[in-house]
Amino acid sequence: MHATPMISIEGQMNEAERTLLIEAILGSAVKPKVVLEVGTWLGGGSTLHILRALEKNGEGHLWGIEVNHSIYERMLKNIHAAAPEASRRFTPLFGFSQDIIPQWLMQQGPDIKVDFVFLDGGNNPGEQITEFHLLDPFIPVGGQLMAHDARMRKGKWLVPYLSLLDNWEVCLHETSIEGIFHARKISPKPSPASLKAASAKLLWMRLHPVEIAAAVLPAPVCGFILGLLPRTMAQRFSDGRK
C-alpha cells in the first residue's frame, strides 16, 4: 500500500488557526458527525484541515458551501488531489449560503443535528448572522461554531451578538490580525434577558450610519466614497480592521 503524498494546496488561515480548528474537532467530547462549512475558497485552509481531522477521528462528514463557480471547480480538484481518502467524507455545495443552508437542512430531515459549524464566507457582517440564525436551532448542546475573520468586518456582528447569548461559551482567539472565534453551546436556549440584550445590540449595530449607507447605496457609490477617504479609515469601514 502506498501512503498518499502530502500535496499542498492554497488555503487561508495561519498555522495557529488551523491548529485551533483541528483541536476543536479532535478534542470534542462527542466526535462531530455533521459538519457544515461556509466559504471553502480553494480548499487548502479550513476544508482540508477539517477533513483531515474528521479522518483522524474516523467519523464525521463535511458539507462545504462555496459561491464562486471557478473557485468551486478548483476546490473540487484540489480536495481530491490533496485528500483522496478524506474526500469521501466531503460533499461540496455550490451557491449562496443563505439559499443553500435552508435547502440542505430540508434534505437532511427534521432530526438533523449540526455538530460543528465553520463560518468563513462573505465580507458582509449580516451574512454570518443569517447563517447563525438558520443553523442555531439544529446545533445541539455541546455543538461548536467557529468563525474566521472574527476581528474583521465579517465577524463584526456575530462576535458581540453571540457573546451576549448566555447559552454559548465563547472565546475570541487573537492569533492573527483576522482573529478566529470559537463558541460552544452550553444550553438549548438563551435566557430571555440575554436574548433581549443580544437582540438590542444587534439592532444597534445594524443601525450604525456606515451600515445603513452600505445597505442602501449601490456598491460603486460605496467604492467611490471609500476612495475619497484616507486609506486607513477606508480600510476600517470596508473590512473592519482594528
Ligand X SMILES: C[S@@+](CC[C@H](N)C(=O)[O-])C[C@H]1O[C@@H](n2cnc3c(N)ncnc32)[C@H](O)[C@@H]1O
Binding mask 62-101 for ligand X (x = CB under 6 A): ---xxxx--x------------------------xx----
Task: Answer yes or no whether residue 144 interacts with ligand X by CB under 6 A.
Answer: no
Question: Binding residue for ligand X (CB under 6 A) from 45, 60, 92, 190?
Answer: 45
Shortest gap between Cβ of 99 and ligand X (angstroms)? 8
Question: Binding residue for ligand X (CB under 6 A) from 20, 34, 36, 41?
Answer: 41
Shortest gap between Cβ of 79 and ligand X (angstroms)? 12
Contact indicator for 83, 52 with CB cutoff of 8 Å:
yes
Decide whether 102 or 140 has the Cβ nearer to ligand X.
102
Q: How big is the chain by its Cα radius of gyration, in Å? A: 18
Task: Answer yes or no whether residue 60 interacts with ligand X by CB under 6 A.
Answer: no
Classify residue 182 as left (phi > 0), alpha (psi -120 to 50) or beta.
Answer: beta
Shortest gap between Cβ of 1 and ligand X (angstroms)? 30
Q: Which residues bind ligand X (CB under 6 A)?
A: 11-13, 38-41, 45-46, 65-68, 71, 96-97, 120-122, 127
